Structure 1
Amino acid sequence: MALHLHLCSSFSGQELVLGRRWKHSFPKKTTQSPNQLSISCGTFPFSNTKFRRPYTSVMIVPTGVGASIGGFAGDALPVARTLASVVDCLISHPNVLNAAMLYWPLPNVLYVEGHALDRFAQGSWALQPIHRNKVGLVLDAGIEEELRIRHLQVADATRASLGLPVVEYVVTDTPLQVEKWVDHRSGQSTGRIRHPDSLLRAVHTLVNHSQVNAIAVVGRFPDDDVKEMEDYRQGKGIDLLAGVEAVISHLIVKEFQIPCAHAPALSPLPLTLSLCPRSAAEEIGYTFLPCVLAGLCNAPQYVAKDSGTLGQGCILASDVDSVVIPIDACGGEGTLAFARSLRHKPLIIAVEENQTVLDDTPDKLGIKAVKVSNYWEAVGVIAAHKAGVDPNSLRRNGINNIRLSSVSPCNGYLASNTV
């Protein structure tokens, strides 16, 4: 039996032969035998994705909170890669997408700094996708000469081997003096820089002199005692660097409203024979800079919604269809803004396997969320949601009888049937 598929007029007069048995001929008059089946493209008028708006998802793994997945050296990147293959647009932040010397180009992923992601979720800022940014590099004056040269060589390598538009660098006029510690109330890492004005002056120079519109910062971090790093190298505990890294990038994004990410400068650690794979990306080179430069070169620009400059193609919080978050890390500004949106509330998906030092669960915060055991299940929920299918219908006994509305029509008006 030959199966003739009459599909698209652009293939008129052509034939596609698949294997030995099936012959597909495209719109071209043929004489059909009684055993032949003809299927017209009119049967599937909405099969083309152009009839649907892009499905957008946000993936959040807060920084410096000891997340089981995403709390180490880019170990949430496989999740982001998988989600990106299912959704049309994935929005995430450096903590998820950075892996020190490693990175992965994902054309449908938007690299958005944490403070900007919060403003986006709250509806204050929109995201404007771009073809490329001009990236400026700020180096801490506290970085030793040899380590500074290593970072400049990395920047040149990304320019020559990847074609990244890293245009100029400046050195701060004063060492930043980065300090870090663990907040004993929350258990997450945090910190400060003693000379934030020096950092802001350096960024101002690059923005105004070189017209850059994205900033990579390398701050000299204090070297930890190897014993203090042992838990992290074994895939346990929290990232002691991540909290103050967020403080640095937040400062710049808040002040200049442009993409920013940070890479710490550290002395190389001595070789260990027992290293957890989740921490290994940070020990295969001299710097953490490559992933930062790669992410920033295509990061979307941030546009204030009240600026009157929203261009065509800007992405708004109302465009977000789903948000994926660790089960006990739902208390961040961005997640709360999405969950409490009145106009367009995305599907919140809480992943139980990804636990942190926090205790901000959906139940505790009164957030309606779909709880899933792991990211495998989260991907399935998103695939169903994107297809327009109620995810509950994929579960045994997931659908109950339809409910009677609590309000009923009365002479053209709605009247409550409850007292």
Structure 2
Amino acid sequence: MSIHLCVSFPGHERVLGGRRHSFLEKTSASLNQWRISCGSFPSSITNFRRPYTSVMVVPTGVGASIGGFAGDALPVARTIASVVDCLISHPNVLNAAMLYWPLPNVLYVEGHALDRFAQGSWALQPVHRNKQVGLVLDAGIEEELRIRHLQVADATRASLGLPVVEYIVTDTPLQVEKWVDPRSGQSTGRIQHPDSLLRAVHTLVNHSQVNAIAVLGRFPDDDVEEMEDYRQGKGIDLLAGVEAVISHLIVKEFQIPCAHAPALSPLPLTLSLCPRSAAEEIGYTFLPCVLAGLSNAPQYVAKDSGTSNQGCILASDVDSVVIPIDACGGEGILAFARGLRHKPLIIAVEENQTVLDDTPDKLGIKAVKASNYWEAVGIIAAHKAGVDPNSLRRNGINNIRSFSASHCNGYIASNSV
């Protein structure tokens, strides 16, 4: 709001004489003070609140209704990012094969690193840009498929200006295996030669000084019938679980940002395809979103490394965490929910269901339940504004409680607050 007030006093020069300028100076000072109190000065001058930080998690390979397919949780992340000052999320939410979306206030954090961050062991150090991103290619990738992916890397360098500086091929095929865990129902897997992968990463880190790693593993081609449910927007992502195993291995060992993209033969065309799975069908590569995310992913700083945490984001800076209703059993979520010093607002989204059964009620986690992500965004907006989200609901606020069991406003008060 900007209001211009003109003050005129006919004949004031004759009345005030030599005190004219003193009067105008006092009037100007009063108006300036009034503008400050009315908020007409830029918000950067009068805003004394720290940035509001939110974490959005959709676990990998658990068949999430939203976020269990080809980047279908990215619209949610974009919306939350427009409300908060800083959003922390992970590749499963932000990756969409050949599609991605630049979000300047979103931190792209690998899942293992996100757990260590939540536990308070690691801090996140935002960067303007990672200086050098390295690419590891599985020796099991056929020559033509390898060349096409190297052309994709060159395309991101030339068209997007991404700092992908060098690649290396593993000395042994990784031999990726994947399956569905019969106990949990989520996808998982392993690589037969993890030592080969670690040697390749070690070479790029120590000899090429890269500070982020993209991995391209040759995944076994699925039978088209096995993929049919996923292509129809049902079931679970059979690739996602072992992708997490690969990135966890590297992040745990080298403590640098990492993400994985599978190398696969293109699937035959289908006339019936769910939009949520379509991002993986528009090309033969999943690499562009990974390289874009890693280009400015935050660096990981161990709290006991002796390095200053100045300028870093800590777990205690997190104000809210958004999670599917039945996926609250991960290490990071439990760390946030059970923190001794700082507990962010946990928002459990009922519409986003998975194959898991780790609900807040079952785990004893205090959480606000949101029917859907529309509602979750509203809860975050209220929380950021310093408003109790319950006050936005009819009968959401009860009478204030007292430490003593006495009558208050006609009701028996509780003994605890």
Task: Return the TM-score normalized by structure 2.
Answer: 0.89
Q: 1:252 to 1:32 in 2, by over 3 A?
A: closer
Q: Flag structure 1 segments of 5+ consecutive residues without an equivalent.
A: none
Q: 1:73 to 1:35 in 2, by over 3 A?
A: closer
Q: 1:214 to 1:401 in 2, by over 3 A?
A: same
Q: Is the 8 A contact 1:178 1:220 kept in 2?
A: yes
Per the TM alignment, residue 310 of structure 1 is displaced from its structure 2 partner at its CA by 2.5
Q: 1:190 to 1:30 in 2, by over 3 A?
A: same
Q: Is the 8 A contact 1:6 1:38 kept in 2?
A: no
Q: 1:146 to 1:46 in 2, by over 3 A?
A: closer
Over the aligned positions, Cα root-mean-square deviation in angstroms equals 7.0
Match of residue 75 from structure 1 = 72
State how far apart, in whole Å, the 2-side matches of 1:128 and 1:291 are.
21
Q: Render the CA deviation track for 1:121-149: whole Å, top value 9, x for unaligned.
A: 00000000011113000000000001001
Q: Is the 8 A contact 1:4 1:39 kept in 2?
A: no
Q: 1:390 to 1:285 in 2, by over 3 A?
A: same
State how far apart, in whole Å, the 1-side matches of 2:247 and 2:54 are.
23
Q: Is the 8 A contact 1:174 1:195 kept in 2?
A: yes
**Between Structure 1 and Structure 2, how many residues are aligned?**
416
Q: Render the CA deviation track for 1:321-357: whole Å, top value 9, x for unaligned.
A: 0000000000000000000011010000000000000
Q: Render the CA deviation track for 1:181-233: whole Å, top value 9, x for unaligned.
A: 00000000000000000000000000011100000000000000000000000
Q: Is the 8 A contact 2:124 2:299 kept in 1?
A: yes
State how far apart, in whole Å, the 2-side matches of 1:348 and 1:19 are.
67
Per the TM alignment, residue 89 of structure 1 is displaced from its structure 2 partner at its CA by 0.2
State how far apart, in whole Å, the 1-side matches of 2:120 and 2:340 are.
12
Per the TM alignment, residue 26 of structure 1 is displaced from its structure 2 partner at its CA by 19
Which segment is superposed worse, 3-12 or 66-75?
3-12
Identify, as 1 or 2, the structure richer in helix: 2
Q: Is the 8 A contact 1:350 1:369 kept in 2?
A: yes
Per the TM alignment, residue 104 of structure 1 is displaced from its structure 2 partner at its CA by 0.2
Q: 1:49 to 1:335 in 2, by over 3 A?
A: farther
Q: Is the 8 A contact 2:112 2:252 kept in 1?
A: yes
Per the TM alignment, residue 405 of structure 1 is displaced from its structure 2 partner at its CA by 2.3
State how far apart, in whole Å, the 2-side matches of 1:248 and 1:155 are.
20
Q: 1:404 to 1:99 in 2, by over 3 A?
A: same
State how far apart, in whole Å, the 2-side matches of 1:364 and 1:56 are.
27
Per the TM alignment, residue 32 of structure 1 is displaced from its structure 2 partner at its CA by 16
Q: Flag structure 2 segments of 5+ consecutive residues without an equivalent.
A: none
SS at match of 1:39: helix
Q: 1:155 to 1:402 in 2, by over 3 A?
A: same
State how far apart, in whole Å, the 2-side matches of 1:94 and 1:336 are.
20
Q: Is the 8 A contact 1:127 1:301 kept in 2?
A: yes
Identify, as 1 or 2, the structure richer in strand: 1
Q: Render the CA deviation track for 1:48-73: whole Å, top value 9, x for unaligned.
A: 57411000000000000000000000
Q: Render the CA deviation track for 1:134-172: whole Å, top value 9, x for unaligned.
A: 300000000000100110000000000000000000000
State how far apart, in whole Å, the 2-side matches of 1:20 and 1:385 are.
55
SS at match of 1:262: strand
Q: Render the CA deviation track for 1:83-128: whole Å, top value 9, x for unaligned.
A: 0000000000000000000000000000000000000000000000
State how far apart, in whole Å, the 2-side matches of 1:178 and 1:166 are.
24
Q: 1:57 to 1:418 in 2, by over 3 A?
A: closer
Q: Is the 8 A contact 1:9 1:26 kept in 2?
A: no
Q: Is the 8 A contact 2:56 2:77 kept in 1?
A: yes
Per the TM alignment, residue 312 of structure 1 is displaced from its structure 2 partner at its CA by 2.1
Per the TM alignment, residue 41 of structure 1 is displaced from its structure 2 partner at its CA by 3.9
Q: Is the 8 A contact 1:8 1:27 kept in 2?
A: no
Q: 1:312 to 1:36 in 2, by over 3 A?
A: closer
Is residue 137 of structure 2 the alignment partner of residue 115 of structure 1?
Answer: no
Structure 1 segments of 4 or more deviating over 3 A?
6-21, 23-50, 406-419
| Aligned positions of 1:16-415 closer than 5 A | 41=38, 48=45, 50-134=47-131, 135-405=133-403
Q: Is the 8 A contact 1:100 1:291 kept in 2?
A: yes
State how far apart, in whole Å, the 1-side matches of 2:144 and 2:127 are.
35
Q: 1:86 to 1:17 in 2, by over 3 A?
A: farther
Q: Is the 8 A contact 1:178 1:219 kept in 2?
A: yes
Larger Rg: 2
Q: Render the CA deviation track for 1:6-40: whole Å, top value 9, x for unaligned.
A: 5999999999999999x999999999999999895
Q: Is the 8 A contact 1:326 1:356 kept in 2?
A: yes
